[in-house]
Every structure is written in C-alpha cells, then in structure tokens.
C-alpha cells in the first residue's frame, strides 16, 4: 500500500477532491510536467508478466499546443518516454497530498479526431522485450545475476533480509530474459515488484499477510458490491522442486498443502497428491529445494483461492499484492490479497474494481 497520512485515510471514505498529474520523461530529462489528461485509468493483473497498463485520453490540441506525437522526442512518443503518474487527494483548506502511482513506459500513442489515445505499460516491459542476444552465463551471486539480467533497464533494490548466495557453475540462460528472472526468483526464493518509484524491489516471500485496509459494505464502508467465484482449474495441493547437487546427484524438496483449506492435501478436493513440478539448476541442496517448493506452493494456492470481485469507492493508495479485509453480507472479515485492480484517474471515471483472493495460510 502506498504510504498515506491519517488525513488522507480519513477523507478517502467520504467525498473529496482528486487531482491528477502526469509527467513525461525521456532518458532522465523532463519533457513536460503537465500532460493534459482528459480521462484515464490503470488496469493491473498480477497473473501477467507485465502487470501494469494505463490508458489516457489527451486532447489533440490543448491551449494552442499539439499533443499528437509527430516528433521522436514528443512527450507522448513511444521511444523510451516514461510517464510518472501522481494522484492528489484534497485534505481541506486547499491542501493536496500527492500519491505516486508509479512509472509507465509509453507503448503506443495514436491521434484520431480531436483526441490522442495513449497506452503505457509497466517498466518490466523493458525486460520482457529485451531477449538475450547470446546465452547468458552468470558467474557471481544471485544478486549480481539478477542485476546482470535487469540493469540498466531497471534499478534493482534488494532487502537486507534476503540472503545472497553463489550461483552454481554451468548456468546458461537462452533468449528469454524475463523467464530467467522468474526462475532466479523462484529458486532463491524471493519476490520482486516494480514499486511506485520505478525500482525492482526484491524481498523474501512473506509468510503471513497483514491487512492494510478494511473493505466493508456496512456503515461508513466503501464497498459497493462483492461477487465471488471458485475454480478447480490449475489447482495443486503439492509442489515438487528439484535441482542438482555439486556432485551431480539430484536434490528434491516437497511441500504439501496442509493448511486445512478447501483444496488441502488429503481432503475432499483430492485425497491423492496433485503436484506441480519445478526444476532448476540453481537448486543445489535439499534445503534450497524445500524452500523453493514452499514459496511456489503459496503462489499456486493463491492463484486458485476463493475469489471476489469488489466494486468500491476509489482508493488510490491500494496496490497489487496488498492484503485487505473483506466484510460483506456474504463474508465476514475475510483476509484477501489484491490480484487485479482497475483505478479510474478522474472523478467521473466511476468505481474502482478489485479482484481479490482469499489468503490461505
């Protein structure tokens, strides 16, 4: 969750004035601090390799200035231009507190009629499109390998609580740079997100989920509707992680879903193991394999957990991965994580929509 003051937290549950500021930068140089956005919003989906996408509508002509991207260095051109998006919340007496939503890479701008439509994506797109020209053979540690795959497109920050270790000899990554990043994170194990400042923030996987917001349809609540869904597709109750020790022997770690949840191992979902198999040469000990299996299992459980679509009054402080507590006529104080998010930028953009999934310990 984006850090906010108590004043902002108090006004988000009632009528307030919102502001939008969009800057455009190219190669570290500010092109404009005021893109004149008429309408816009964000869509985030945690299941995608590049989770973030924004769409803006800009007047083609604004105060005598053309916003059609006719020049390579135009603020809306797609030549490396990055948009910095901030939302301001009025807290009274003319004061505005600004929340930075993030940095986005201009993917496409197209003028039609009196408007320019701008599509921008999260900064991981830089890594996704930059496939490896030659095989990458790391010789250092997990941190240096990650930085070698990602920088200078994105700056990597590593949490001090995450233990670094040497990468085994003989690792060879071909072509898919982003897939190599995901394999490295799973084997570490670690989680990484592009934060609001535009850095790839890497940290140990969280064992527990601490709720940052209460979403309720009761008195003083912000939830408008909440609809549920459930699926069996893609469900697993065990993960098998395999690697190779320094002497060439296979190492293996297994993690079972013993949470007591609806799809737990040995329960009604399936009394037999339904395993997901993961293999990586980065795993060289049984302990590493077990740790990777636990992390991957948590993600697999999250992907098929009980799901709710929440329509609510917009809260620009909420982000993907945040834990929230849902209370409606159908569920009572259910802790979920935000897996999808749609945030309108303008007051007339309507509701904010969240896709949330139940947290299974």
User: Following DSSP, what letter does each residue of 211-261 receive, concatenated?
Assistant: EEEEEESSTT--EEEEEEE---TT--SEEEEEEE-TTS-EEEEEEE--S-S
Cα within 13 Å of Cα(80), Cβ side: 9
> Strands 52-59 and 238-244: what pairing?
unpaired
**CB of 361 closer than 8 Å to CB of 208:** yes
pLDDT digits (tens, 9 = 90+) for 171-226: 999 999 999 999 999 999 999 999 999 999 999 998 788 999 888 876 556 676 76
User: What pLDDT score does 100 carry?
Assistant: 97
d(CA 145, CA 137): 9
- Element holding 296 (H helix, E strand): helix 286-303
∠169-152-76 over CA atoms, to 5°? 145
d(CA 60, CA 57): 9
Give domain limits for the chain.
6-122, 127-203, 211-230+306-358, 238-295
> Strands 238-244 and 250-256: what pairing?
antiparallel
Q: Which DSSP state fits 141?
A: B
**CB of 85 closer than 8 Å to CB of 54:** yes
Q: Which residues of the chain have pLDDT under 50?
A: none
pLDDT digits (tens, 9 = 90+) for 247-295: 999 999 999 999 998 999 999 999 999 999 999 999 999 999 999 999 9
In 152-190, which ranges are E strands? 156-158
> CA separation (Å) from 186 to 190, 203, 204, 291, 298?
6, 12, 11, 9, 11
Give the CATH architecture of domain 6-122: Roll (2.30)
Q: In CATH, which of 2.102.10.10, 3.55.50.10, 3.40.50.2000, 3.30.470.10 is domain 127-203?
A: 3.55.50.10
d(CA 214, CA 237): 29
d(CA 120, CA 35): 14
d(CA 297, CA 255): 7
d(CA 89, CA 314): 11
Coil, helix or strand at residue 54: strand
Here the tokens at position 190 are: 């670690």
User: What pLDDT score does 224 carry?
Assistant: 62
d(CA 141, CA 202): 14
């Amino acid at each position: 969750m984006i850090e906010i003051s108590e004043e902002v937290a108090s006004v988000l549950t009632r009528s307030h004035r919102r502001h939008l500021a969009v800057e455009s930068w190219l190669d570290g140089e500010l092109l404009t601090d005021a893109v004149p956005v008429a309408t816009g919003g964000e869509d985030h989906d945690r299941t995608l390799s590049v989770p973030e996408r924004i769409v803006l509508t800009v007047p083609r002509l604004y105060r005598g200035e053309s916003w059609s991207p006719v020049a390579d260095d135009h603020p809306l051109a797609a030549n490396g231009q990055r948009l910095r998006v901030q939302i301001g919340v009025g807290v009274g007496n003319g004061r505005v507190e600004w929340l930075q939503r993030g940095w986005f890479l201009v993917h496409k701008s197209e003028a039609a009629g009196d408007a320019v439509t701008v599509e921008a994506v999260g900064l991981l797109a830089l890594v996704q499109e930059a496939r490896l020209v030659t095989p990458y053979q790391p010789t250092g540690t997990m941190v240096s390998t990650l930085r070698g795959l990602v920088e200078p497109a994105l700056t990597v920050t590593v949490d001090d609580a995450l233990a670094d270790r040497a990468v085994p000899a003989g690792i060879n990554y071909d072509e898919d740079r982003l897939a190599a990043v995901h394999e490295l994170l799973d084997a570490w194990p670690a989680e990484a997100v592009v934060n609001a400042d535009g850095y790839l923030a890497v940290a140990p996987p969280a064992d527990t989920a601490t709720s940052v917001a209460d979403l309720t349809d009761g008195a003083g609540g912000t939830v408008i509707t909440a609809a549920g869904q459930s699926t069996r597709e893609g469900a697993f109750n065990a993960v098998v992680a395999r690697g190779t020790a320094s002497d060439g022997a296979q190492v293996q770690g297994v993690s079972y879903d013993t949470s007591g949840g609806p799809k737990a191992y040995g329960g009604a979902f399936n009394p037999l193991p339904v395993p997901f198999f993961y293999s990586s040469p980065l795993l060289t000990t049984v302990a590493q394999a077990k740790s990777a299996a636990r992390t991957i299992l948590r993600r697999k459980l999250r992907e098929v957990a009980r799901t709710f679509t929440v329509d609510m009054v917009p809260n620009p402080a909420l982000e993907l991965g945040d834990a929230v507590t849902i209370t409606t006529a159908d569920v009572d104080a259910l802790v979920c994580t935000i897996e999808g998010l749609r945030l309108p930028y303008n007051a007339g953009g309507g509701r904010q929509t969240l896709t949330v999934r139940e947290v299974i310990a």
